A and B are shown apart, each in its own frame.
Chain A
Amino acid sequence: MIDLKGIKKIYANGDIQVAALNGVDLHVGASEFVSIMGPSGSGKSSMMNILGCLDTPTEGEYYLDGTDVAKASGDDLSVIRNRKIGFVFQGFNLLARTTAVENVELPMLYAGIGGKERRARAIAALESVGLGGRIHHRPKELSGGQQQRVAIARALVTKPSIILADEPTGNLDSRSSEEVMAIFQRLHASGNTIIIVTHEPDIAEFTQRIVRFRDGHIEGDEVVQNQRLAQALVLEEGEAK
């Protein structure tokens, strides 16, 4: 699924060169549920950008579904992101003034999927995260947890190879965080590959494997012994907010 070999990311700042990633090898198999941890400056954000094909490594090889994407150009990366990667961000990153269902339709718009199919799949994706009753709400009219669930629906609607979540619970209270993690666990149970970047140990405990970064390289790679099960306290559709 994901194979990283000797990944280096070097930022040139004037004459000073800073290696954010210094020779990283990582393999993530299909249907894994991985969290990437590390203090700030450890290189986990650079890792996230490279894994998400938002950025290319200075050196090294990145095989995603068997193809090397390390040297792809801007527009090719757009296509790869569109087809293979679903993003969930800390700040939700939904389009304001745009309804939930339209936000979820967005990646399919760029994939060139027709209007009717787009709408049907977007509604199905929103229903799968328990927001079937709020498809015409705008981000402002939704709580943080609900916004993040719209973002998750948007990430999974294209049936991507991996779902990448960057601090998905960073802006949420503990109750909403657990809801979101419950959704990730459910998605994982149905066969999705999920990678979460986080600095919160208790969030990482919801996953199956923790990869720890420090100073641009992998410091530890362990299997979570006692995986916590998130309680879906929620809030199924129609229940009052």
Chain B
Amino acid sequence: MNFFESIRVSLRALRANKLRSALTMLGMIIGVAAVIAMVGIGNGATASITSQIQGLGSNLLTISSGQSNSGGVRGGAGSSDALSMTDVSKIPIDTAVKAVSPVTTTNAQVVFGSGNTSTSITATTADYALIKNVTIASGRFITQEDVDSSARVAVLGPTVVTNLMGDANASVIGKVIKINNVPFQVIGVTTATGSTGFMSSDDMITAPISTVQARLIGKKTVRSILVSATSADFMQTAQDEITTALHKAHKIPEGKADDFTVQNQADMLATMTGVTQTLTMLLGGIAGISLLVGGIGIMNIMLVSVTERTREIGIRKAIGAKGMDILLQFLIEAVVLSVLGGGIGIALGYGGSTLAGKALKMSTSISMTSVLVAFCFSAAIGIVFGVFPARKAAAMDPIDALRYE
């Protein structure tokens, strides 16, 4: 009997028992869908974290103030007010350090005409644009003069423009908006970066740090200082220089704990991607186990099916089926179940991860590799778990099989 006839015989047998075939496939479907969805979501998370961290700027070092310690109660990192504008001037601009910029953030209600929105205000200096790779779509960024003169000027992110005016392309340069009731003149709009969600660089207003400290916060806080190293090779040198400069400025003796921390963007990236990759592996691994269970389910059903169809096997052998014909018939049944289940699982996993991505507002990415791997894996499971029952069927003695009740 040729191979195509074997396939037709197997398909007919599967159709004859639709419910059982569907239930058997279910194990595979869930397993493959889980693998695809988990890996897709994991990859998406990794990609989005990587792009978010890279969006923070290149060769970036972030200095944040240390923990507060009032009456023995320790606060979280950044809770003390150790950093000040003076520290900014103490960090030398040299071969290792390209630019330094203080940052303080706050949230504020922003009103323009009948539109209003709640967004985050990033208070900083002119070099912020250089450090964070901010590009301007129209108008200009804040300048050193704006900072020196505490000018009430603001640079809007495109999302803020949309939220206030209802249209991202509305002309806003020169208009006056109110941030917590303080009028600011719009001087520029940043280019959309496409980042969304928490800490989106599109949904934010940038203003001179001096103005924000005086008008919005009411104290001279510097939440963090951003430093851009001249290149990746100088990251360590820059970090050392910062530490030395701040030790001197804060008068911290050798051996005493720092009241600030310096974070390296590359380290952060490596840590975060490491975490998400581990999570992806973990989720994929759990899903993989369910795939294995699905495979065992197929083997179980095939074994039942072989026993149940003993008489059929006997008839087929009596009228001329060879061992190989029977083996192929049952093996193909197992492989069809697993591959069909795998195919449906891939479609479901794809749909599931896309839906999850939409619901969680994050991008998911299903790589061709993971689809291929899942597909080949499910076919392999069909073969591996199908061989045993199929061999059992093929090895049956026609006389015993015919006599089987």
**Footprint of B on A, CB under 8 Å?**
49, 52, 54-55, 74-75, 78-79, 81-83, 87, 89, 93-95, 97-98, 106-107, 109-112, 154
Contacts and interface: CB of A to CB of B under 8 A. Distances in A.
A81 B16 contact: no
Contacts of B12: 98
B397 to A, nearest CB: 8
B322 A79 contact: yes
B319 interface: yes
Interface residues of B, number: 23
Nearest to A155: B319
A95 B398 contact: no
Contact of B319 (A49, A55, A107): A107
Interface stretch (B1-9, B147-155, B274-282, B295-303): B1-9
Contacts of B311: 93
Contact of B318 (A74, A75, A93, A98): A93
B56 interface: no
A74 B399 contact: no
Given A109-B5, A110-B325, A79 B320 contact: yes
20 contacts: A52-B318, A54-B318, A74-B323, A75-B322, A75-B323, A78-B317, A79-B322, A81-B318, A81-B319, A81-B320, A82-B319, A82-B320, A83-B320, A87-B318, A94-B315, A107-B319, A109-B1, A109-B5, A110-B321, A111-B320
A97 B1 contact: no
B77 interface: no
B312 to A, nearest CB: 6
Nearest to B325: A110
A78 B320 contact: yes
Nearest to B395: A74
B2 A89 contact: no
A71 to B, nearest CB: 17
Residue of A78, A79, A97, A154 contacting most chain B CB atoms (<10 Å): A78
A112 B319 contact: no
A99 to B, nearest CB: 11
A83 B399 CA distance: 18
Contacts of B321: 78, 110
A162 B318 CA distance: 14
B402 interface: yes
A112 B325 CA distance: 11
SS class, residues of chain B in contact with chain A: helix
B315 A95 contact: yes
B319 A87 contact: yes
Nearest to A96: B312
B170 interface: no
Given A74-B323, A82-B320, A93-B318, 4 more contacts: A49-B399, A54-B318, A54-B402, A98-B12
Contacts of B312: 95
Residue of B2, B12, B320, B324 contacting most chain A CB atoms (<10 Å): B320
B319 A75 contact: no
A167 to B, nearest CB: 13
B316 interface: yes
Nearest to B315: A93
A87 B402 CA distance: 12
B399 to A, nearest CB: 5
A64 B320 CA distance: 16
A93 B322 CA distance: 18
A75 B320 CA distance: 9
A49 B311 CA distance: 16
Contacts of B402: 54, 89, 93
A49 B317 CA distance: 13
Contacts of A52: 318
Residue of A81, A98, A110 contacting most chain B CB atoms (<10 Å): A110
B2 to A, nearest CB: 7
B311 to A, nearest CB: 7
A105 B208 CA distance: 88
A119 to B, nearest CB: 13
A112 B399 contact: no
Q: Ordered nearest first, which 6 A-B pairs have the shortest CB separation? A: A82-B320, A110-B320, A107-B319, A75-B322, A78-B322, A97-B16
Interface in B264-321: 311-312, 314-321
B319 A110 contact: yes
Contact of A54 (B316, B325, B399): B399
A78 B311 CA distance: 16
A106 B323 contact: no
A112 B321 CA distance: 11
Interface in B39-83: none
Contacts of B325: 110
A196 B315 CA distance: 18
A165 to B, nearest CB: 13
A109 B9 contact: yes
A4 B2 CA distance: 34
A112 B323 contact: no
Nearest to A77: B398
Contacts of B316: 106, 110
Contacts of A97: 16
Contacts of B317: 78
Contacts of A93: 311, 314-315, 318, 402
Contacts of A78: 317, 320-323
Contacts of A111: 320
Interface string B1-45: 110010001001000100000000000000000000000000000
Interface string B367-405: 000000000000000000000000000000011001000
